[in-house]
Chain A
Amino acid sequence: MPINGSTQAMSGEPVAANPLSVKPPVIRAGGRSKAPQPGPKSHAAAPTFPFSAIVGQDEMRRALLIAAVDPSVGGVLVFGDRGTGKSTAIRGLAALLPAMEAVVGCPYACDPGRPADHCERCREQAVLRSEKVAVPVVDLPLGATEDRVVGALDLERALTRGEKAFEPGLLARANRGFLYIDEVNLLDDHLVDLLLDVAASGVNTVEREGLSIRHPARFVLVGSGNPEEGELRPQLLDRFGLAVEVTTPTDLPTRIDVVRRRDAFERDPAGFCAAHAAADRAIRKTLADARARLPGLAVPDATLEAAARLCLALGTDGLRGELTLMRTARALAAYEGAETVSLDHLARIAPSALRHRLRRNPLDESGSTARVARAVEDVLAR
């Protein structure tokens, strides 16, 4: 697809004849006859900072790993200061995820082993060939328009051939993977509504431009943002399974370590990644083991009861809190290779799973994290 001449001067600034301003044509995967891109291009283009090289931020890393072990926990929200490595961690996670089986040529990367979740096209086919693809981690870029998010009429084919064809959007590409929204609090309201709906149902329904399409869109929503730049609507907040708050480390040795690693990575990305490849591989192995162990891991009644009492004590709305608490504690136990889901797992994951579900009490000056910690102490001590 040709790029139009890029010499439209904005305000009388002379545009030098510059080799850099002439972009090579960027071609979008046309027609969807080919297999979907395994992972977005931006991740493949430049090496990403290795997940295992991130200093500190244990809670954030743990939450992301839990979401990777059990995608049904319902997403991770990372809120915190500027420059704390939120984006870095999420992009690093993408490189860690073990490959998955997918139907060859399916634009939604359907799982051959789960016919119930198949798209219409895969259902119609008698024989499905499968291949290993990378788990998609899709960026929702700022300024994305609705048509690219949900999918729309294929412009190229509509214009050149007068055909009505559906071009899947970012939600289709994110199926069975991760959808990452940086600066989630700056997202337009109508896009937020749309994402909420799809994230809740796991199905993307497109009714526009004369198209009527339904396709599976099960993804882990990962959002990051800075609370100083606007608060998140409570409906969206509740939709995330885990919420973590990250802060800039304050002790000097950690700070020096962070800067030193970042600097080493920037100076020699390939070498730095190679140095941490073994540690990344170890995490990937643990992840795969945890996923295999997860279905067989039962949650004892005592833990379930404690979870219920905890939610009761905190007055969280609905059952979502208990459900998330149970699932995340189980995923944590699976990741740590534990035999059973203990109260300790519950206590450790409770702040991340519950802090964003509390009703705000304007006169309680202690933060929601402290309130959860207090409730954990009270309930589990009994």
Chain B
Amino acid sequence: MSPAWSLALRVARLAAADPHGCGGVVVRAGAGPVRDLWLDGLRAALDPDRVLRRMPAGIPDDRLLGGLDLAATLSAGRPVAQAGLLAEADGGVLIIPMAERLTAGTAARLASALDTGRVQVARDGLATSAPARIGLILLDEGVGDDERIPEALADRLAFRLDLTNIAWSETGTAGPDDEADATGDERPIADATAELCTAASALGIASLRAPLLALRVARLAAACDRRSEVSGEHVREAARLVLAPRATRLPPSTEETAETPPDRAPAEAPSEADVASDSDDRMEAGAESVVEAARAAIPAGLLAHLEATASRGPTPKAGKAGAPVSAPRSGRPAGTRPGHPREGRLALIETLRAAAPWQRLRAGAEPGGPLIRVQAADFRITRFRQRSETTTIFAVDASGSAALERLAEAKGAVELLLAEAYVRRDKVALVAFRGTGAEIVLAPTRALARARRDLSALPGGGGTPLASGLDKAADLARTAAKAGGTATLVVLTDGRANVARSGAPGRVQANADALHAAKMIRAAGIRAILVDTAARPQDSARHLAEAMGARYLPLPYADATAMSSAIRSAR
């Protein structure tokens, strides 16, 4: 049994001991025997009285929160409420597979249950409130960085586990050490609060929920070990389990305090006689050792990952990019709303459900009518949410200053991406700027053959109207965003503008215009990459990239494949 696996089992035991107190666990792992084994471990550790339920990520509100039970209401002739999954799982654990697919709305409902321990229902003419002290197991099967568990929810769960790198051979079943039952309440604790807060700050964790959860876990760990006092070991364990996976930076090195024995209990309560400075010193030293414990558990790839995300530039503001189309008629169903069928697709079951409670009343008003009386107010239509699609917009400098072989390379890169886009059903657009203005050579399209034809016919030569090119590309990106998609801008230029927006030649005005256009792109929150096509990269393109908030890729000896792979990794 490897250390990673025994750690995972320890997390399962802690989470099972007090699911609601811990919030739960984010488990990053693909579906497979290791994950199943871990879930079995959790099930075994869980008190048999506690419920363990599975919840699909796309659960509708009437099952999650509760609502009117249609069949029972009809047969009983009076409204019958149906409890939702949150209320049914009170005191227990909800397992959510494919949690990366959770919508912000569902995540907010779950978060509210975690915060208040109750579920409030105000639906279908019912107003109830029921206890829902749940813990969550979020099974994160996301592959790339695009698919992530809603941060609002992950922030409320104490533990994060990564089982992806645990091999089947490393696993084993837990020893027979019987775990304690009680939650960690009422245990006296030394100044672990200060230490965990200090450690959280050192690790760059902004949320205050993290140290609070760590504190609870430390107490829980002590209770699981049947100890009445929270020892330094428990505090360090809590830091390892709760704080380390949330770290956003490595703590400052603590070489100078290396003489601190690692097993020194940091949580020794300073007696009241201690002078203030002494207790401060102890606190400091204790916090250092907590930080060390967390540092040891920080994954190796953290910094590389941070660099990758940091170099992305400003993330588009939520609600702009990828905003759903106002009333799409296709896509993934996302609930129903009242409305006339001419505005969308009729949701038959929901319509009947809406009509059902009124049947007796309507029958009384007009006896001898049809069997089921449906009125216009009952109509429900299905809402759809379209998967937001990605459009990659290439703004290619086709001027004389961009050497002609560069243009060929740019064409090659677009072609390669086009093939990739065809697989991913993404769109590609091409803007070329040369002479006195910019033109859209290729409107956003998935038509591979046409795109290739237009591309090969793209001429080169003339001045560099950089500002016009950027404006045109930004317009396309905004249009794509308005249609509910996400746009990535790829600008291929050497950054040496010499034609102003007005079409007049002149280096100074042209550069000022280009910088202005770049700032507009940044302000609009469009994700951008600038590929410097100059044979020897110079500052002009770099400044432009900074103004645009774009990732800067100098490619002095680019070929199409290298460029394509650079763009792919930057997205």
Contacts and interface: CB of A to CB of B under 8 A. Distances in A.
B360 A20 contact: no
B318 A229 contact: yes
A158 to B, nearest CB: 5
A148 interface: yes
A226 B151 CA distance: 11
A141 B361 contact: no
A16 B51 contact: yes
Interface string B118-162: 101111111111100000000000000000001110010000000
B127 to A, nearest CB: 5
A144 B122 contact: yes
A54 to B, nearest CB: 12
Nearest to B109: A142
B377 A209 contact: yes
A213 interface: no
Contacts of B155: 82-83
B56 interface: yes
Interface stretch (A159-167, A308-316, A351-359): A159-167
A194 B480 CA distance: 30
B78 A160 contact: yes
14 contacts: A16-B52, A20-B49, A23-B87, A87-B115, A140-B122, A141-B122, A144-B122, A159-B77, A186-B105, A252-B197, A259-B208, A262-B208, A267-B186, A362-B520
Interface in B334-388: 337-338, 357-358, 360-361, 364, 377
Contact of B120 (A141, A183, A256): A141
Contact of A145 (B104, B117, B120, B122): B122
- Chain A, interface residues (CB within 8 Å), range: 35 or more
B72 interface: yes
Given A267-B185, A362-B524, A248 B207 contact: yes
B206 A21 contact: no
Interface of B: 48-56, 59, 61, 63-65, 68-69, 72-73, 77-83, 85, 87-88, 90-92, 95, 104-105, 108-109, 112, 115-118, 120-130, 150-152, 155, 185-186, 193-194, 196-198, 200-201, 206-209, 211-212, 215, 317-320, 337-338, 357-358, 360-361, 364, 377, 519-520, 523-524
Contacts of A142: 105, 108-109, 112
B137 to A, nearest CB: 12
Contacts of B54: 10-13
A28 B122 CA distance: 11
Contact of B207 (A83, A152, A156, A159): A83
A20 B123 contact: no
B52 A13 contact: yes
Contacts of A162: 360-361, 364
User: Which of A167, A248, A249, A263 has its CB near the most chain B CB atoms (within 10 A)?
Assistant: A263
A267 B492 CA distance: 60
B78 A164 contact: no
A248 B201 contact: no
A249 B318 CA distance: 24
B78 A156 contact: yes
A3 interface: yes
Interface string A11-42: 11101101111010010100000000000111
A231 interface: yes
B208 A167 contact: no
A26 B129 contact: yes
Contacts of B49: 16, 18-20
A337 to B, nearest CB: 33
Contacts of A260: 193-194
B81 A229 contact: no
Contacts of A255: 197, 200-201, 208, 211
A146 interface: yes
B129 A146 contact: no
A263 B193 contact: yes
Contacts of A23: 83, 87, 90, 130
A209 B55 CA distance: 34
Nearest to B212: A259
Nearest to B64: A143
A230 B360 contact: no
Given A13-B52, A139-B120, A162-B364, A188 B318 contact: no
Interface in A172-199: 182-183, 185-186, 188, 190
Given A83-B208, A156-B79, A259-B208, A145 B88 contact: no
Nearest to B214: A259
A331 interface: no
A1 interface: yes
Nearest to A18: B51
A19 to B, nearest CB: 7
Contacts of B87: 6, 23
A170 B361 CA distance: 24
B152 A155 contact: no
A137 to B, nearest CB: 13
Nearest to B73: A159
A190 B326 CA distance: 12
A127 interface: no
Nearest to B60: A143
Contact of B124 (A145, A158, A267): A145
Nearest to B79: A155
A1 B352 CA distance: 22
B51 A21 contact: yes
Task: Please name the 3 residue pairs, one residue from A and one from B, whose CB atoms are nearest each other, closest first.
Answer: A362-B523, A148-B122, A141-B120
Contacts of B55: 10
Nearest to A24: B130
Contacts of B108: 142, 182-183, 186, 229
Contacts of B125: 147-148, 152-155, 167
Contacts of B59: 10
A252 B198 contact: yes
A259 B216 CA distance: 11
A329 to B, nearest CB: 32
A32 to B, nearest CB: 12
A125 interface: no
Contacts of B524: 362
Nearest to A152: B125
Given A162-B360, A362-B520, A10 B122 contact: no
A45 B388 CA distance: 42
A143 B65 contact: yes
Interface in A65-95: 81-84, 87
Contacts of A256: 193-194, 197-198
A124 interface: no
A159 B78 contact: yes
Nearest to B152: A82
B114 to A, nearest CB: 12
A153 B112 CA distance: 28
B201 A252 contact: yes
Nearest to B116: A42
B318 A227 contact: yes
B318 A230 contact: yes
Contacts of B194: 256, 260
B53 A20 contact: no
Contact of A164 (B197, B211, B361): B361
B112 A141 contact: yes
A82 B156 CA distance: 9
Contact of A1 (B79, B120, B185, B200): B79
A366 interface: no
B212 A262 contact: yes
B318 A28 contact: no
A259 B196 contact: yes
A78 B120 CA distance: 22
A367 interface: no
A212 interface: no
A2 interface: yes
Given A40-B129, A45-B129, A170-B122, 18 more contacts: A1-B81, A4-B82, A10-B55, A10-B63, A13-B95, A82-B152, A142-B105, A156-B79, A158-B358, A158-B360, A182-B112, A186-B105, A248-B208, A252-B198, A262-B212, A362-B520, A363-B520, A365-B523
